[in-house]
Amino acid sequence: MLKIENLHVEVDGKEIIRGLDLEVPKGEVHAIMGPNGAGKSTLSYTLAGRDGYTVTDGRVTFQGRDLLDREPEQRAADGLFLGFQYPVEIPGVATLTFLKTAVNAVRRQRGEEEYDAMQFMKLVRGKAKDLNISDEMLKRPVNVGFSGGEKKRNEILQMAVLDPAFCLLDETDSGLDIDALKVVADGVNALRGPERGMLIITHYQRLLDHIVPDRVHILAEGRIVESGDKSLALELEKKGYASFGSDRAA
Amino acid sequence: MDSTAEILLERFSGDADTDRTAARDRFRDAGLPTPKQEAWKFTNLRPLAQFLDARTEPANDSRPAIPDTLVDGAYRVLIIDGRIDGDLSDAGIDGLSLAQGSGLQADTDSGRALRDLSIAMADDGLRITLDANATPPRALELVFIGTGSRSGGHHFTLEIALGSNSALTVVEHHLGSNAYAATLATDVRLADGARLRHVKLQDESTEAFHLSDCAVEIGRDASHERFVLSVGSRLARDEVHVALNGQGSSVRLLGAYAGRGQQHLDHTTHIDHAVPNTSSHEVYKGVLDDRSRGVFQGGIRVMKDAQKTAGHQLNKALLLSRQAEIDSKPALEIYADDVVCSHGATAGEIDEDALFYLRARGIDAQAAKSLLVQAFLDEAFDGIADEGLRERLKDRVHGALQLEGAAHG
């Protein structure tokens, strides 16, 4: 479903991703673990199409199509969803307005009919309830004044509403206490399915207790240095990143 | 006396209206303001002079199209090229009366040459008076249309006097086509407990000049709320001078502006807190694209006796292009000691993080930009109570900036 081959990415003239290969088939959940500075966020921003992340070599295909020449909004419409490590605050834009604009923008690009106000509210209310998101929160400006947990729950709500084919979650566990972590993990697990792929990027193993991956990859200095099943995460937790070819161990 | 003033005053050689003599004499002495004067440091009127010259050939001579009202069901007065069009038959309802003619206090020396110019050269004027305790349910809408068919520009005076405990909404809609110079001098007087909402849409032709000077006196426990949206003109100055003369009086000045091309949009305000227990609140938000230039000058003066004054002022500009420019000059003079005053001015670009976040959710770059621009301006628009009017003005901003309406999704 998502196939990355020999990817090289530069940021501000500095090479961060250095020949990364990875394939996530549909129906599978993969995790990428790595220390600070390994290139985790660079990978997620590159896949989502952010300016300033220059691909100097390699290719990425998503559902058989070249991903890298697509605009960020086209990637979203193609079904790629990035859950941000640091969700952005947007003063003045109500969360509901944002969600509705986004879901209809995606539906329009997919050639689907836009939701009217009633259909949209019904969809959002159901999903929001599962994530403990109140109506009051939906009326507030996007992420403004939200706690860390609220921001991450809001990311999962967007994911649920946009119904993407592939979920890319960048350090979704950062800034969460254990209760919030469970709510977020339940939200993610609810979206697991045979047609959907997921890539979970994380520094710590604890998220993977709640979202159990099919495969675990270790990212160090811009490339995958080790891959294995879920037991690799536990091994990593015990031995530390140093034993997996990183000299910038966490 | 400079040559422009000389040319202008030829037009009035036969004018025997003594009320205007003082204004005319002052203008003759002062001439058009130049950037050497502190109040005109950022706005150069030199290109205006030729449009004030009555000997210039008119550009056009056709009956203009009349726009829809901005507020549903408003009383309406049309002012075409500085002259009231038709009769004032709506007058005399709900305690509201409208009279043709200028009653501005020409003998008062404001020290503002453009105000003197408008008064001295006024082609026509309108006096709006509202009885004490009257609260007309409908707004009064003044539609000023410039056609470019009269040489020498057009000049108008407006007087708004509200009786005690009365309330009124006045909407000004300025629009037009072709090149012309429009000037307007306004006096607002609010008796004790009166409330005036004043909404102005400056949507003049982008070849036109728009120069407006508004003086507001606010009595005890009276309040004034003003919103101006400036999207038109090649050069515009919207100047407001507020005197909070009565205890418990308050003013809210809100403004939004959107500049494109080489537009020059100047908003100059001055608020005098003359007595104790008055408050002022000011928010101006501007979006500037291409090579447009914005000017904000905000003066607040708190007199010695004006204890317990609250004054807040904010000017924020969003620059959509590297060539766009904003000059912001707050000026606070505080002579009392028990006051709370603040001011702030910022200029910034579109938040790239926010833009990417929206795009990553499927919203295309143009719609995302539009959503962020609207969100930026909203703080100023929130002051407009009438929802229909608010939405029409928001749509106008999007049209002016050639952004698509994003919030309709």
Report how far residue B134's alpha carbon sits from residue B137's, in angstroms, rounded to the nearest whole number: 9
Query: Cβ of A117 under 8 Å from any chain B Cβ?
Result: no
Of A51, A84, A101, the CB nearest to B363: A101
Domain tally, chain A = 1
Closest CA to B372 of B333, B336, B316, B318: B318
Query: Cβ of A90 under 8 Å from any chain B Cβ?
Result: yes
| Residue A130, domain member (yes or no) | yes
Mean per-residue pLDDT for B43-57?
78
Per-residue confidence at B90, pLDDT binned at 50, 70, 90? low
Containing structural domain, residue A183? 2-244
Predicted pLDDT of residue A250: 41
- The answer to whether B224 touches B232, Cβ cutoff 8 Å, is no
| Residue A50, domain member (yes or no) | yes
Strands B167-176 and B140-146: parallel
**Taking CA atoms, what residue in B is nearest to A100?**
B409
Of B361, B367, B378, the CB nearest to A92: B378
Alpha helices in chain A (DSSP H): 40-48, 72-78, 95-109, 117-130, 135-139, 148-162, 178-190, 207-210, 231-239
B222-258 pLDDT, tens digit per residue, is 999 999 999 999 999 999 999 999 999 999 999 999 9
**Taking CA atoms, what residue in B is nearest to A84?**
B357
| Residue A6, domain member (yes or no) | yes
B131-145 pLDDT, tens digit per residue, is 999 999 999 999 999
Per-residue confidence at B125, pLDDT binned at 50, 70, 90? very high
How many CB atoms are closer than 10 A to CB A80?
Answer: 25
| Amino acid sitting at position B109 | D
Query: Cβ of B405 under 8 Å from any chain A Cβ?
Result: no
The percentage of residues in chain B with a pLDDT greater than 70, rounded to a whole number, is 90
Q: Residue A25 belongs to a domain with what CATH number?
A: 3.40.50.300
Closest CA to B255 of B328, B309, B189, B181: B328
Predicted pLDDT of residue A240: 84
Chain centre distance of CA B366? 30
pLDDT exceeds 60 at position B346: yes
Write down the ipTM of this complex.
0.95
Find all residues with CB under 8 Å of B176, minimum gap 6, and list them. B64, B144, B145, B146, B147, B148, B182, B204, B205, B208, B232
B9-23 pLDDT, tens digit per residue, is 665 544 555 567 788
Chain B residues whose CB is inside 8 A of the A109 CB are: 362
| Residue A249, domain member (yes or no) | no
B307-333 pLDDT, tens digit per residue, is 999 999 999 999 999 999 999 999 999
| Amino acid sitting at position B111 | G
- The answer to whether A85 touches A170, Cβ cutoff 8 Å, is yes
Predicted pLDDT of residue A180: 86
Per-residue confidence at B399, pLDDT binned at 50, 70, 90? confident
| Residue A138, domain member (yes or no) | yes
Mean pLDDT of chain B: 89
- The answer to whether B196 touches B167, Cβ cutoff 8 Å, is yes
Query: Cβ of A119 under 8 Å from any chain B Cβ?
Result: no
Which H/E stretch holds residue B142? strand B140-146
Predicted pLDDT of residue B89: 62
Predicted pLDDT of residue B152: 78
User: Which 132-151 residues of chain A touch chain B by CB within 8 A?
Assistant: 141
Does the beta-carbon distance from A101 to B409 stay under 8 Å? yes
Of B360, B378, B409, the CB nearest to A72: B360
- Best mutation target among B318, B358, B361, B374 (most A Cβ atoms within 10 Å) is B361
Does the beta-carbon distance from A92 to B362 stay under 8 Å? no
Report how far residue B126's alpha carbon sits from residue B83's, in angstroms, rounded to the nearest whole number: 10
Predicted pLDDT of residue B338: 94
pTM here? 0.85
Mean per-residue pLDDT for B136-165?
92
Predicted pLDDT of residue B383: 80
Does the beta-carbon distance from A162 to B362 stay under 8 Å? yes
Q: Report the alpha-carbon angle B111-B162-B122, nearest 5.
A: 45
Task: Read off the tokens for B78.
Answer: 């049309």
User: Which 342-381 residues of chain B touch chain A by CB within 8 A?
Assistant: 351-354, 356-365, 367-368, 371-372, 374-376, 378-379
For residue B254, CA distances in Å to A4, B71, B87, B283 come to: 52, 18, 32, 5
How many CB atoms are closer than 10 A to CB A183?
Answer: 18
Report how far residue B124's alpha carbon sits from residue B84's, in angstroms, rounded to the nearest whole number: 7
Predicted pLDDT of residue B282: 96
**Average pLDDT of each block of 10 consecutive residues along chain A (250 residues)?**
97 96 96 91 96 96 96 97 95 94 95 94 92 91 92 94 95 86 90 95 90 95 93 87 61
| Residue A188, domain member (yes or no) | yes
Per-residue confidence at B106, pLDDT binned at 50, 70, 90? low
User: Which 174-193 residues of chain A touch chain B by CB within 8 A?
Assistant: none
| Amino acid sitting at position B378 | D
Report how far residue B63's alpha carbon sits from residue B76's, in angstroms, rounded to the nearest whole number: 18
| Residue A94, domain member (yes or no) | yes
Of B363, B374, B379, the CB nearest to A102: B363
| Residue A250, domain member (yes or no) | no
Does the beta-carbon distance from A109 to B362 stay under 8 Å? yes
pLDDT exceeds 70 at position B404: no
For residue B119, CA distances in Å to A198, B107, B217 come to: 72, 10, 18
Predicted pLDDT of residue A248: 46
Chain B residues whose CB is inside 8 A of the A77 CB are: 362
